[in-house]
Structure 1
Amino acid sequence: MRAFLLATYAAAFVMRRPAVVRSGHRRINSIVDDLAEHDVVEYSTDDGGLGLGVVCEDGTIHPLCYFVEEEDDGPVDYVWDEEVDAVEAERAVRVVDDVYPKTRQAQRGVDNPHGEHAEDVYEIER
């Protein structure tokens, strides 16, 4: 009787692996369902490559571009790419780990004389 109870109890805690595609990538649908605002993701671009973007409040992905102040081997800061439009969340391929969000004074010239406007920056190790 104890063996039966132990086996029943242990079976209740079996961990299930998420479904995967044979290529080793998780299904896009499961990634989209798990996205949260401010997640940094790799997404598929129109030319078949990969882009880097951040998930917005409305669920779209806004592309990021890198911002270089100094040439060194340290982490790279990424900011919103204001020259391109957001893309659909269905293009997400994977969520990027080890992203350190921060803010910096917006580089807006006369439009920000006191430095009260800030922009989001995403620091990612090289």
Structure 2
Amino acid sequence: MDIRRVTRFEAVEAAGHLFDAAPDRAATDKFLAEEGHHLLIAYVDGTPAGMVTGVEMSHPDKGTEMFLYELGVDDRFRQQGIGRALVAALARLARERGCHGLWTATGEDDKPAQATYESAGGAPEWDQVVYTWEFDQR
């Protein structure tokens, strides 16, 4: 397995099956252009097998931390440690960039994601609640 930081739309497009929907060119270019946005893709024998995105977030009294935005592993490559390796690679990148921590959120019933995050060294904060706001602007 080879994990690479991706900086070009063509690499994202080739790994489009790892995302919830086909990558949009404008959104991808905007994401990749931001200094604190990161996209790592795991390749197995040249095939995109998994991806993770991270976004650096800074706050005046907290410093900078990495938000694990999304993790995806192709069904054919699950249960092979690819998700754990991607999370570990993002954590290494976060440390290299001076982040004080890494965090994410997942569904309460998403046991595979929870197992992946815990196996990569994450610890759940069960007393947290996630709120979302949806805006129809796409």
Which protein has the bigger strand share? 1
Shorter-chain TM-score range: under 0.3
Which structure is richer in relative contact order (CA contacts within 8 A, separation 6 or more)?
A: 1
Larger radius of gyration: 1
Which protein has the bigger helix share? 2
TM-score between the two structures when normalised by the length of structure 2: 0.23
